[in-house]
Amino acid sequence: MPQIVNLRTERKRRERAKDRAKAAENAARFGRCKIAKAEEEDTAARATRHLDQHRREDPET
């Protein structure tokens, strides 16, 4: 005999599972600590300065 299922409870369970999956995706995408963000910005700035120092011609011309 099939078990009786409360549709409202099942809908809420499904929505919670979807929200958890979305949260995990966002944590993987944006979940970096402050030090890691600063380190990445510093590396990018250093690379930009390094390239600017090796330009052959003046960017204003």
Q: Look at residue 18 and tell me if it is in a domain.
A: yes
Per-residue pLDDT, 59: 64
CA dist 16 and 10 (Å) reads 10
Q: List the chain pLDDT tens, one digit each, 61 residues.
A: 889 999 999 999 999 999 999 999 998 888 888 898 899 999 999 999 999 988 887 767 6
Instruction: Give the number of domains in the chain.
Output: 1
What's the pTM?
0.48
Within-domain flag for 49: yes
Which residue range forms the structural domain that includes residue 33? 7-53
Residue partners of 32: CB distance under 8 A and separation at least 6: 40
> Residue 26: inside a domain, yes or no?
yes
In a domain, 41, yes or no: yes
Whether 1 maps to a domain, the answer reads no
**Would 2 be classed as within a structural domain?**
no
